[in-house]
Structure 1
Amino acid sequence: MLRFENVSKVYKGGKKAVNNLSLHFKKGEFICFIGPSGCGKSTTMKMINRLIEPSSGSIYINGENILDKDPVQLRREIGYVIQQIGLFPHMTIQENIGLVLKLLKWPKEKRNKRARELINLVGLTPDYLDRYPHELSGGQQQRIGVLRALAADQPLILMDEPFGALDPITRDSLQEEFKNLQQKLGKTIVFVTHDMDEALKLADRIVILRDGELVQCDTPEEILRNPANDFVEEFIGKDRLVQAKPNISTVEQIMNPNPIKITKDRKLSEAIQLMKDTRVDTLLVVNEQNRLEGFIDVEMIDQKRKKKSLVADAYEAEIFTVTEGTLVRNAIRRILKNGLKYVPVVDQNKRLIGIITRASLVDIVYDSIWSEDEASLQ
């Protein structure tokens, strides 16, 4: 889908920003470019849509050399999201989302229909379409920036540190949301970041650059297990290498497949009895189709029991989850970073399939850190 052949960028004075880069990416891959400041990652990405012209070599999109295309037309065929978002303050959210569509001469009714379809993909309601950027939070504005890049249904989207300016909690949530969206829509993403945790969480393949040179290009798992050299090992960090246990990769392998759950129509007295019987202080709340809707704990019941009688009146809908197929190291990071006691595991349709607790992680941490030392003592 995207191919670099011996691509270089040399600036005046002979400074080489990118040197003889050759890469090949398939349709639907999520590719992260990462490396120290000045390594050439943003330059490489901007050569794809010719915001920066290559000095030599060729870049192909679906077999077509980008230098054979009109640069303006090329950019309209590629989505582009930047850290500064770039929403136009005088335009409504609907007009911002439909901007590229307007340039592509889509009729207004069709543009508006597309905006209504897209707004639902990022958890915002249609009433947001009539608002202006200043009425939205930073995370909401970034969602709109992503939607604008998706609006024309371009197969390739470039993203230059799009979540870098957000607070950690919003950033974590958006990363999860966008990864799921990318997998659902099958887009090819080229994503520039300076954050290794972000790259490990999002990427199908990571491209590590140093001084304009390719150092390693591989899956996150392979880079963690087999760093190409000392530079990559140091760049990744020892703590992340410890988590790269070779025989455990996804959350399904360590989750408890039988989480304790209850439906909203049950009485609070039944919830308390279930907690006593199973010796837990929290229940996951699901609907009749086993879709996760939230959680309820002892404190919530204690606060509501005199006034209300049903789980529906006391439960909390806001809950962190991970999707099946999520890498264990990402789940660990989420539990530790957010101080969570557990994380429910759901499928693509939000149906509850399991739960990871801190206790689930004990064996992994033990084996990763101590098993080799223990073996050497025997």
Structure 2
Amino acid sequence: MLEFKNVKKRYGGGKTVVSNLNLKIEKGEFVCFIGPSGCGKTTTMKMVNRLIHISEGSILVDGKNIKDQDPVELRRSIGYVIQQIGLMPHMTIKENIVLVGTLLKWSKEKKDARAKELLKLVGLPEEYLDKYPHELSGGQQQRIGVLRALAANPPLILMDEPFGALDPITRDSLQEEFKKLQKELDKTIVFVTHDMDEALKLGDRIVIMKDGEVVQADTPDEILRNPANEFVEEFLGKDRLIQGRPDVTTVGQIMEGSPVTVQTGTTLKSAISTMRDKHVDSLLVVDSNHVLKGFIDIEAINLNYKKANQVDDIMETDFISVSQDSLLRDTVHRILRRGVKYVPVIDNDQKLTGIVTRATLANLVYDTIWGDGMELAEAATATE
């Protein structure tokens, strides 16, 4: 899909920003470029759509050399999303989404249909098409920026720190949303970021750069388990949980399989009784098919006990959840970022299968720090 062959970029005065880059990115692959400021990651990405010209070497998109293509036509065939979003303030959301379609002289019917189709992908209501950018939140505007890049159905999308200006919770939500969208649409993504957590969460492969050269290009797990050198180790950070326990990688390996629940329709009096019996201060609410619907806690009960009768009346339906296949490092990140005590685990049918709590994670950290030491101590005792 995308290949760099001996690519170099030098600026006036002979300064080399990218040096002899060789890399092949497969169709449908999500590749994150990361490294310190000035390492050449953004320059590398901008050479792909010829916003920056190559000094030496070649870049091939679907086997075609980009130097042989008209730069305007090339850019229209590649999606591009930046941190500043760049929505046209005088245009409606619909007009912004189908901007490339307008340049390609699509019919009004085709543009209307495409705008509606894309808006559904990110769960925004159709009436948003007639709004203007200033009427949307930062997260909503960034969603529209992503949709605009998808409008002409390009096989390749370039993204330059697209979520960098958003607050942590909105950013976390958009990362989840976009990763899922990318898999569904099978798009090839080149994603530049300065955030290692973001790269680990999103990338099928991570390309770590330093001084214009690729230091390591590999899967997140391989980089965490086998960093190429001391620079990569320092860049990753030595406090990453998964480094200490490479054998524990997914939620399914550590989740508790029997979270305390109540069914929809349960009275608050009965819910309180369950809390007392199980020694918990919150309950997950499921329906008769064990589909997760929300949660309640003791604080909500205290605030609403006199004016509500059932758990349905007071349960919180805005919650984060994960699957058994979710990477543990991502789940840890979400728990810490959201400040929650636990995360429910659900299957593809939204049925509750387990729970990951902070206590579970604390035990894992304890094992990571002390496991080998305890085993050594036991072994020493046994030989005395």
- Tell me whether 5-14 or 277-286 shows the greater mean CA deviation: 277-286
Please tell me whether Structure 1 or Structure 2 has the larger radius of gyration of its CA atoms: 2
Letter in 2 for 1:73: E
The Cα offsets for residues 281-319 of structure 1, whole Å up to 9 and x where unpaired, read as 222233455443321112222322322222221111111
Partner secondary structure for residue 322 of structure 1: coil
The Cα offsets for residues 114-151 of structure 1, whole Å up to 9 and x where unpaired, read as 22222222232222211111111111111111111122
8 A Cα contact 2:168 2:337, kept in partner = no
1: distance between equivalents of 2:335 and 2:274? 25
TM superposition shift of 1:189: 1.1
Residue in 2 that maps onto 1:307: 307
Residue in 2 that maps onto 1:205: 205
Partner secondary structure for residue 102 of structure 2: helix
- Tell me whether 314-323 or 187-196 shows the greater mean CA deviation: 314-323
- Tell me whether 93-102 or 344-353 shows the greater mean CA deviation: 344-353
Name structure 1 gaps, 5 residues minimum: none
Backbone CA RMSD of aligned residues: 1.9
The residue correspondences of 1:36-115 to structure 2 (distance < 5 A) are 36-115=36-115
Residue in 1 that maps onto 2:320: 320
Report the TM-score, using the length of structure 2 for normalisation.
0.93
Letter in 2 for 1:123: G
TM superposition shift of 1:373: 3.1
Letter in 1 for 2:164: G
How high is the sequence identity, in percent, across the aligned residues? 64
Residue in 2 that maps onto 1:180: 180
The Cα offsets for residues 163-214 of structure 1, whole Å up to 9 and x where unpaired, read as 1111122212211221222222222111101111111111111000011011
Residue in 1 that maps onto 2:343: 343
- Tell me whether 284-293 or 43-52 shows the greater mean CA deviation: 284-293
8 A Cα contact 1:82 1:159, kept in partner = yes
8 A Cα contact 1:244 1:329, kept in partner = no
The Cα offsets for residues 248-270 of structure 1, whole Å up to 9 and x where unpaired, read as 11111111233333343333233
- Tell me whether 260-269 or 244-253 shows the greater mean CA deviation: 260-269
Partner secondary structure for residue 240 of structure 2: helix
Letter in 1 for 2:21: L
The Cα offsets for residues 26-75 of structure 1, whole Å up to 9 and x where unpaired, read as 22211110001110000111111111121121212222222222221111
Residue in 2 that maps onto 1:261: 261
- Tell me whether 266-275 or 211-220 shows the greater mean CA deviation: 266-275
2: distance between equivalents of 1:192 and 1:134? 26
1: distance between equivalents of 2:43 and 2:310? 57
Report the TM-score, using the length of structure 1 for normalisation.
0.94
Aligned length: 378
Name structure 2 gaps, 5 residues minimum: none
Is 2:235 aligned against 1:235?
A: yes
2: distance between equivalents of 1:310 and 1:2? 56
Letter in 2 for 1:280: V
Write out the 4+ residue segments of structure 1 that deviate beyond 6 Å after TM superposition: none
Letter in 2 for 1:178: F
Partner secondary structure for residue 142 of structure 2: helix
- Tell me whether 203-212 or 47-56 shows the greater mean CA deviation: 47-56
2: distance between equivalents of 1:351 and 1:185? 25
